[in-house]
Structure 1
Amino acid sequence: MSRCAPVLCTAVLLGALLTGCVSTVNGTALPAQGGGPVTTTVPTLAEADLDRILLSAGEVNGVMDATGIRVTASAQSMSDNSDGVSDVDCLGAIYGAEELVYDSSGWTAVRDEVLQEPTTDNAHWVEQIAVLYPSAAQAEKFVDQSKTTWQKCGGTSIDIDNSDVHSTWKIDKADVSGDILTQGSNQRNAGGWGCQHALTSASNLVVEAWACSNSISDEAKTLASEMLTNAAKK
């Protein structure tokens, strides 16, 4: 079996947060790296913009310091893996693009891609998700609610059962100090395999990213940041 994230320990793709200052005209202002002055804004987006927000395979390889990563699955809908987790209240901390997590939040469209080396012993696994909302307020509200879930689930262990696959993941304490929420997790008895989960919003967009390897650090945060940069290029 190929190595993956807690959300995808089978070959099945999950179907398918920066709290920014909202502009009533031009979108959400993004701070420069290091907290410097604002350098650009994310405009109000439409569904047609979502595909270009996702990073190319080449860009993902650059972030992950790899060469063979490519898109292996994609979706334009949410998924439902709630039956496969030991604590459904932590579903949003262990899975991305989950129907139950996004339900009633007002989302209107989603793009979800999984990228990895197309081998059974892949060294990297990435998921990038872009979710559209009617308004910036709704996108920001989803991030705020997710922050509460991530904080509550930090320090716990979650069992995942998908088909004939069982795994246990230790969820780290969430880092909610910056504009992009991040949280690490490690798979038990998997030789150091771990993931970082990142979540942020800008304008009417929510961006979610997973990055997994045997030596993960801030790759998911970088992926989410670069997706926001793409969003600002409209």
Structure 2
Amino acid sequence: MRTIDALRPRWVAAAMVLASMHLSGCVSTVDGTAVRGHGSVLFDVPPLDEAHLDRILLPIEQINTIVGSTRMEVTSEVDEMTDHSAEVSAPDCLGAVYGAEAPVYEGTDWIAVRDQVAREPGTDNDHWVEQVAVLYPEAQNARDFFDDSKATWQDCANNAIVVGDGEYLWELDDVVVGDDLITQVTTQEGADGWACQHALSLVSNLTVEAWACGYTITDEAVQIVDAMVANAAG
């Protein structure tokens, strides 16, 4: 089971949560949900099932390439939701700072989840990445979760969230909103610029989410969710 320490190697070390990839491929016509990838490729994606989930997450080699590292390794993989709502000063903003949280997905009828964390070894790592893929019974469930998350992130924007025992303060920026993508940058106070880009997208009956954290983060989380969407369409 995932613990808060597994989620926040840089929170504990006082520096945690936060190469453009152009998606390419052919347009096909199948029964399913049409989704435009952020690289301007139109995907017609039929409903997915749990057997598809393990192909959605990016391999560690691809994560290393996106964030500009060569040493990141997977440190946590779980297939269940957790609950860290007691660890944040504003529980209503839990979904803006944590992934795969049971209270955030309550009422969505989600049926399966994959959650993976990767970073460089040791306590002084330069990057931290989380990928989350959540499957629902219908595409409308995914859309409803996306829309609810957009409203929540916007409500929490330009606020400071305390995590843990009060020693970690995270400042949430404005939310950048698109039809099938929302992003937000979160910066840890007093951590020499350590920040995370948080991105959420959807495809068919699936939502995909990523946090890309480091000292020079730009659009890495967007690249990760774009690639996850492409994997779902492949």
What's the TM-score once normalised by structure 2's chain length? 0.86
Query: 1:188 — aligned with what?
Result: 189
Percent of aligned positions that are identical: 48
Residues 1:139 and 2:142 are matched in the alignment: yes
Q: CA deviation at 1:119?
A: 1.4
Query: 2:221 — aligned with what?
Result: 220
Conservation of the 8 A alpha-carbon contact between 1:2 and 1:119: no
Q: CA deviation at 1:180?
A: 1.1
Q: CA deviation at 1:48?
A: 0.9
Query: 2:125 — aligned with what?
Result: 122
In structure 2, distance between residues paired with 1:116 and 1:169: 20
Q: Structure 1 pair 96/107, CA: closer, same or farther in 2 (3 Å)?
A: same
Aligned AA (2:31): N
Structure 1 unaligned spans of 5+:
12-23
Conservation of the 8 A alpha-carbon contact between 1:110 and 1:130: yes
Query: Which residues of 2 match residues 1-234 of structure 1 at below 5 A?
Result: 4=9, 26-31=31-36, 33=38, 35=40, 38-161=41-164, 166-233=167-234
Conservation of the 8 A alpha-carbon contact between 2:38 and 2:226: no
Conservation of the 8 A alpha-carbon contact between 1:183 and 1:196: yes
Report how many aligned residue pairs link the two structures: 217
SS at match of 1:174: strand
SS at match of 2:76: strand
Aligned AA (2:55): R
Structure 2 unaligned spans of 5+:
1-5, 17-28
Q: CA deviation at 1:33?
A: 4.6
Q: CA deviation at 1:42?
A: 2.1
Q: CA RMSD in A?
A: 2.5
Conservation of the 8 A alpha-carbon contact between 1:5 and 1:194: no
Superposed CA offset, 1:159-186 (max 9, x none): 0016xx7300000011113521100000
What's the TM-score once normalised by structure 1's chain length? 0.86
In structure 1, distance between residues paired with 2:35 and 2:12: 29
